[in-house]
Structure 1
Amino acid sequence: MSDTTETGVQPVSGTRRWLVLAAVSAGLLLISVDMTILYTALPTLSAELQASASERLWIINAYPLVMAGLLLGAGTLGDRVGHKRMYLIGLVLFGTASLVAAYSLTPAMLIAGRAFLAVGAAAMMPATLSLIRVTFVDERERGIAIGVWGTMAMAGAAIGPIVGGALLEFFWWGSVFLVNVPIVLVALALAAVVAPGGSGSSERPWDFLASVQVMAGLVGVVYAIKEVTGPEPSVLAVAVSVGVAVAGSWSFVRRQRGQAYPLIDFALFRDPRILVGVLAAGMAMFALAGVQLVLTQRLQLVLGFTPFQSGLTVAAMALGALPVGVTVGALLYRLGTRPVIVTGLLATAVGTVGVLLSTSAPLVWTVAGLLVVGAGTGASMTAASAAIVGNAPAYRAGMAASVEEVSYELGSLTGVAVLGSLMAAVYARTVSLPAQAPPAAAEGMDEALRASQGLDPADADALLGAAVQAFDNGYRVTLVIAAAVLFASAAFGFLHKRGRYPGPAV
């Protein structure tokens, strides 16, 4: 009997397997928490760093943007250098970037720190699941471990706003990044001791150029969105950014179709189950990230909630998502993925409408809407993961997992970019400032609050009244758009039934 697994690493026995799971779960939790931790911290750090409306959105978006650009290639790089080594490198990068972000002196420095964080996260993310696959040979134990992995990812995104809010109750804004460092050190020490090694393989090349092409396409799209929705959009800037987006995307697709080992086999999307799964994963994260962002801003800037109070409010999504996700996972073999995806997207859309209608109602109605949003998101994300990974051919299983992870990051990225930019644009175009208000107050609610501090009480009240009205205009429009996108996605999931994966039998 061989003393190595089929992956070429020594088998892991006893308690050590579960210590490996603890080590990779800690890293995954950090990655997920940092996706949403700034939602409650954004007003505070914006005030401290004097960040503009555009800079605030880049502070949020730099992380998912860079992650989405690097994730596809990171899995292949891990195959080459070894997944343990890749995970340890990612932890070191993530910890270092956390220090840079925590002590940023300007918005630009913080944006760069967030991008640096994403490099470490992209290195860790594929390695976490790969280490689980090589560590847990028993099918039952592996299923439990992957279930814990998925739960940690969902829980991290859900508790991020709570963690951010709780830290800001007692510490300065940099603490939301500094808290990563001790967890990184523990995970680093544990993984170095217990994670199975392996030197990797050089059979598949690392396509760095493809990652650059993806990044160029994403940056172009995000910049175009922000420019179009800005108060004074530049036609030249929009044209250039769209050109960069088209060039990057076209060159990536063309390169992948000519590669012996592509990062994405686009034939996967001919299977309607996989296509619907990718769409559902992206749209669920679109709603989750977008609704969390605009709601946490309103709770703090308009209703006067503390960061911690706003974090606790949006935690209702987690209360809805986690039990439903686990329950649906156990019943998918009976229900099928498509009905659950469609039902989940419809529930998320209905919950979003509920949040919209509760704008002027008692808070309990907003919480009820968030519970429904969370339940729908948990159901659709669980079924989407099963649809993507479960319906891909065995020889495309790793690629399908990467596609799933990227769909989540792209959903979060577009949710923040589209809905965040749209809310800022509606505010800027509908705000009617009193004569005595400084022009800077037209840029956003944060600027209006800062400007009001230098006015006498009557003028400050007039300014804040106009700003709140404009902010709520943007808030309502973004929720309407989010609900419409979710309803349309559910309709697509229900109606799209063409084709099967055309690959060879395996």
Structure 2
Amino acid sequence: MLALKPSQRWGLLGVISSGLLLITLDNSILYTALPTLTADLGATGTQALWIINAYPVVMAGLLLGSGTLGDRIGHRRMFLIGLGLFAVASLGAAFASGPATLIAARALLAVGAAAMMPATLALIRVTFHDERERNIAIAVWGSISVVGMSLGPIVGGALLSVFWWGSVFLINVPVAIAAAVATVLIALPNDPDPAKHWDLRSSVQVMAGLVGAVFAIKEVAHRPPDWTVVVVAVLISAAGFTLFARRQRRLPDPLVDFAIFRNPAFSAGVLAAALAMFAVGGLQLVTTQRYQLVEGFTPLQAGLLVATMAFGSLFTAMFGGMYLHRTGLLPLIGGGLAVAVLGVALIAAGGTGSFGLLITGLLVTGAGLGATMGVASSAIVGNAPARRAGMASSIEEVSYEFGSVAAVSLLGSLITVVYATTVGLPPGAPATAGETLPDALATAGGDPVILAAARAAYNTGFLVTTVVVAVVLAAGAALTARMLRHHGPGSPVGSREDGARAPE
């Protein structure tokens, strides 16, 4: 078995982390840039939704297939292909001439990201053979995911303070080129497995399910919704997911072997990853939007605010990886989610009042989610056979992207519904002012009564949204604690209790 020297292993981890940082940055970099970008391109509300969501939706649809494709052609090659596509798509996005072009470029970015993401975790799996060393490497990987998501709004805000909105994409190009060169120089030789089969139809089916679900959620948020569109979208979503599940059971080499979910530690890791990203993505989205639109923060100021969450997560994510062999999965996953519930409660209490309470809440939330995300990947990868590293990595990445899609779609729509339901506009106010806060700011003509009513309604939406996040995390903490009840202090990460074994 080929092995790299320690300096080469950790150097490769740095290269992998740079690629992962690009992917996660692009998940959140538009949160602070969206108001400027939307105004410059003249994008509608629906187009703005898809400028953000095209990236995680397409990525989630392709991730399962790309993991298996990585097993077939080699994860090193997939990582390099992904970097190349990411660089090309970033150029296209930076110089997009309209919303449709930008959405298409974001979709191509997702293709590159989907090629890279499973390869990053799979390369760690095949490079780090010592379990403790691998746990630390995966903890670094997990912390990069949190840092990337949290740095996105800061990077976007900082670039917008000096350059035009296209700079938030252009910055990807030199990083991708440098990472590709370093991969060629450091990584182990490509190790393809031609016996693996790649199934494009399954990827199309799961993507149809995701796109239909997003369309349905967005339409329900309209006032009034078009129920015909909702029903059609729900039917498409249900058909896509149903066909996907049936096809996996028939394929000799499926993209997802559902038997692996019989392992409770594996399933707990998947659930924890999705819930953590749901909370991070949702809180970042609504917080950056509120503090820009209601409090008048600049994009950079709003980005720095939500970066507090990343600061809180750094130490707990690294701690989790370093001491996982002593603590076991239960305290870090179930306990981390429980700590995050307390943090979100503080955000809800201080989000529209005490700024100090808000900062404390963001720090506590980050600390809890950092502990969870730092070891969720270990729970997933450590409970899958080595020959299925690509599939396990893909499932892990899909859980993160699904959490991101759910956050933007559900929580973004929820705050819109609450706003439209609770806003008390004075007689004669523009009808569009009752749809969203940006519409109210654009059409109020500076009327203080309209602006006060609009901001009050948005604050109500912010409060409701944070309460929903806290409830979801509380349910997740209870469920994962039950699933990991045999994974307390001193228990092995890859134990398969109760006869629930990953398929060999």
Q: Structure 1 length as normaliser, TM-score?
A: 0.91
- Does the residue aligned with 1:230 lie in a helix, a strand or coil? coil
- Does the residue aligned with 1:391 lie in a helix, a strand or coil? coil
- Residues 394, 99 of structure 1: CA spacing in aligned structure 2 closer, same or farther, 3 A cutoff? closer
Residues 341 and 470, structure 2, Cα contact 8 Å, conserved in 1? yes
Residues 267 and 501, structure 1, Cα contact 8 Å, conserved in 2? no
Matches within 5 A, 1:55-454: 55-136=47-128, 142=134, 144-198=136-190, 200-452=192-444
Deviation at 1:136, TM superposition (A): 4.8
- Residues 141, 488 of structure 1: CA spacing in aligned structure 2 closer, same or farther, 3 A cutoff? closer
Deviation at 1:431, TM superposition (A): 2.3
User: For residues 4-45 of structure 1, what are the alpha-carbon distances to aligned partners after superposition, in whole Å with 9 as ceiling and x for unaligned?
Assistant: 63xxxxx54575545433332221110111111111111221
Q: Mind listing any 5+ residue stretches in structure 1 that lack a counterpart?
A: 6-10
- Residues 263, 405 of structure 1: CA spacing in aligned structure 2 closer, same or farther, 3 A cutoff? same
- RMSD of the alignment, in Å? 2.3
Letter of the 1:475 counterpart? F
Between stretches 65-74 and 152-161, larger displacement belongs to 152-161
Q: Distance in 1 between matches of 2:31 and 2:373?
A: 21
Q: Distance in 2 between matches of 1:330 and 1:190?
A: 27
- Residues 353, 114 of structure 1: CA spacing in aligned structure 2 closer, same or farther, 3 A cutoff? same
- Residues 397, 12 of structure 1: CA spacing in aligned structure 2 closer, same or farther, 3 A cutoff? closer
- Answer yes or no: is 1:31 the counterpart of 2:45: no
Q: Which residue of 2 aligns with 1:462?
A: 449
Residues 138 and 374, structure 2, Cα contact 8 Å, conserved in 1? no
Q: Distance in 2 between matches of 1:148 and 1:333?
A: 16
Matches within 5 A, 1:474-493: 474-493=461-480
Q: Which residue of 2 aligns with 1:22?
A: 14
Between stretches 338-347 and 134-143, larger displacement belongs to 134-143
- Answer yes or no: is 1:54 the counterpart of 2:46: yes
Residues 267 and 502, structure 1, Cα contact 8 Å, conserved in 2? no
Letter of the 1:117 counterpart? L
- Answer yes or no: is 1:44 the counterpart of 2:36: yes
- Decide which of 460, 479, 483 is 1:473's aligned counterpart: 460
Q: Distance in 2 between matches of 1:131 and 1:277?
A: 19
Deviation at 1:429, TM superposition (A): 2.4
Q: Mind listing any 5+ residue stretches in structure 2 that lack a counterpart?
A: 486-496
Residues 262 and 501, structure 2, Cα contact 8 Å, conserved in 1? no
Deviation at 1:500, TM superposition (A): 4.1
User: For residues 194-227 of structure 1, what are the alpha-carbon distances to aligned partners after superposition, in whole Å with 9 as ceiling and x for unaligned?
Assistant: 4333362210111111111110111111111111
Aligned residues: 493
- Residues 106, 438 of structure 1: CA spacing in aligned structure 2 closer, same or farther, 3 A cutoff? farther
User: For residues 162-196 of structure 1, what are the alpha-carbon distances to aligned partners after superposition, in whole Å with 9 as ceiling and x for unaligned?
Assistant: 11111111111111111111212222233234433
Residues 119 and 390, structure 2, Cα contact 8 Å, conserved in 1? no
Letter of the 1:370 counterpart? L
- Residues 70, 312 of structure 1: CA spacing in aligned structure 2 closer, same or farther, 3 A cutoff? same
- Does the residue aligned with 1:170 lie in a helix, a strand or coil? coil
Letter of the 2:481 counterpart? F
Residues 341 and 379, structure 1, Cα contact 8 Å, conserved in 2? yes
Between stretches 193-202 and 206-215, larger displacement belongs to 193-202
User: For residues 346-389 of structure 1, what are the alpha-carbon distances to aligned partners after superposition, in whole Å with 9 as ceiling and x for unaligned?
Assistant: 21122111111113323111110001110111112223223222
Q: Distance in 2 between matches of 1:428 and 1:68?
A: 30
- Residues 265, 230 of structure 1: CA spacing in aligned structure 2 closer, same or farther, 3 A cutoff? same
Residues 47 and 446, structure 1, Cα contact 8 Å, conserved in 2? no
User: For residues 235-287 of structure 1, what are the alpha-carbon distances to aligned partners after superposition, in whole Å with 9 as ceiling and x for unaligned?
Assistant: 11111111111111111111111111111121222222222222221111111
Deviation at 1:143, TM superposition (A): 5.1
Q: Which residue of 2 aligns with 1:8?
A: none
Q: Which residue of 1 aligns with 2:491?
A: none
Between stretches 279-288 and 83-92, larger displacement belongs to 83-92
Residues 40 and 308, structure 1, Cα contact 8 Å, conserved in 2? yes
Q: Structure 2 length as normaliser, TM-score?
A: 0.91
Residues 135 and 321, structure 2, Cα contact 8 Å, conserved in 1? no
Letter of the 1:361 counterpart? G
**Aligned sequence identity (%):** 54
